[in-house]
Structures are given as structure tokens and as C-alpha cells.
């Protein structure tokens, strides 16, 4: 446990930030998992409707620093490619 006042404050901040970041990370994982399941089940129209929500949460989490900008961009790109590939089949 921290002893100094500044260390105690830093610990409180870290706990608060971690819980805030976990909300975004869990939401991202849930949406991506749902998207991939829709692709597997051949429900392309529902997946198309879900893609903008995923892009929005990825952009917002990159903006506030939960994930890096390039990570968000890479994930959006790969999900879009997956959707296009499954549309062709």
C-alpha cells in the first residue's frame, strides 16, 4: 500500500481509470464477437447494421486513449474486409 499522499492519490486515479477503460474494452470485445457470430451465421444485413456501432466505439476509445489510433484503424479495416469477403460468398 502507498504511504505518501501523492502515491495514494495516484492509486485512486489508477483504479478509476482502469474501471473506465475496462468498460470500453469489454464493449468492444462484445460487439466484435457478436459481429463475427453474425458473419458465421450468414446474417450479413444484421452485421452491416452492427458495423457502424463498432466503428464508433473504436474511434471513441482511440480518442480517449483506451486503445491506440492505429489499433482502432486496423480492427475497423479487418472487420470491413471480413464483411466484404462474406458478401461475395
At residue 88, the pLDDT reads 87
Beta-carbon contacts of 25 under 8 Å, excluding residues fewer than 6 positions away, are 61, 66, 67
The pLDDT tens digits for 67-88 are 999 999 999 999 999 999 998 8
Is pLDDT above 90 for 89?
no
Domain ranges of the chain: 5-88
Q: What is the pLDDT of residues 31-70, one digit of tens each?
A: 999 999 999 999 999 999 999 999 999 999 999 999 999 9
What pLDDT is attached to residue 84? 95
Q: State pLDDT tens for residues 21-34.
A: 999 999 999 999 99
User: Global pTM?
Assistant: 0.88
CATH of domain 5-88: 1.20.58.110
Are 44 and 86 contacting, i.e. CB atoms less than 8 angstroms apart? yes
User: In terms of C-beta density within 10 A (0-12 exposed, 13-18 middle, 19 or more buried), how is residue 86 classed?
Assistant: middle
Torsion sign (Cα): 59, 68, 24, 35: positive
Amino acid at each position: 500500500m502507498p504511504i505518501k499522499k501523492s502515491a495514494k492519490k495516484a492509486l485512486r486515479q489508477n483504479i478509476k481509470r482502469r474501471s473506465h477503460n475496462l468498460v470500453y474494452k469489454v464493449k468492444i470485445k462484445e460487439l466484435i464477437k457478436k459481429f463475427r457470430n453474425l458473419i458465421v451465421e450468414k446474417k450479413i444485413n444484421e452485421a452491416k447494421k452492427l458495423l457502424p456501432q463498432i466503428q464508433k466505439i473504436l474511434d471513441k476509445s482511440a480518442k480517449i486513449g483506451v486503445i491506440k489510433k492505429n489499433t482502432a484503424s486496423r480492427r475497423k479495416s479487418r472487420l470491413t474486409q471480413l464483411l466484404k469477403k462474406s458478401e461475395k460468398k
